[in-house]
Amino acid sequence: MTLGYNTLVVLAGCAMLGLAAGTVGAFALLRGRALLADAVGHAALPGVVLAALIVAAFGQDPRALPPLLAGAAVA
């Protein structure tokens, strides 16, 4: 069975992401910062969503980085 080029690219990307996330997660756990990072990430999510909705309501690109960062910071 041969795998197509797209499948190999996706598999390689998933493997690299898993390696990077596992490494960062291990260091965060060892330093005792795992729960803090999780809490900050979950606290910022509503601000990102509200910023995207507000920007989209004004007819702009809801994926623009500056408004999303501002929404995360406000939240």
Taking the model in full, what pTM does it have?
Answer: 0.54
Block means of pLDDT (10 residues each) for the chain, 75 residues, are 86 92 81 73 87 93 90 89
Give pLDDT, residue 55: 94
- pLDDT tens-digit map of 21-30: 888 878 877 7
Residues near 52 by beta carbon (within 8 Å), at least 6 away in sequence: 62, 63, 67, 68, 71
Residue 60 DSSP code:
S
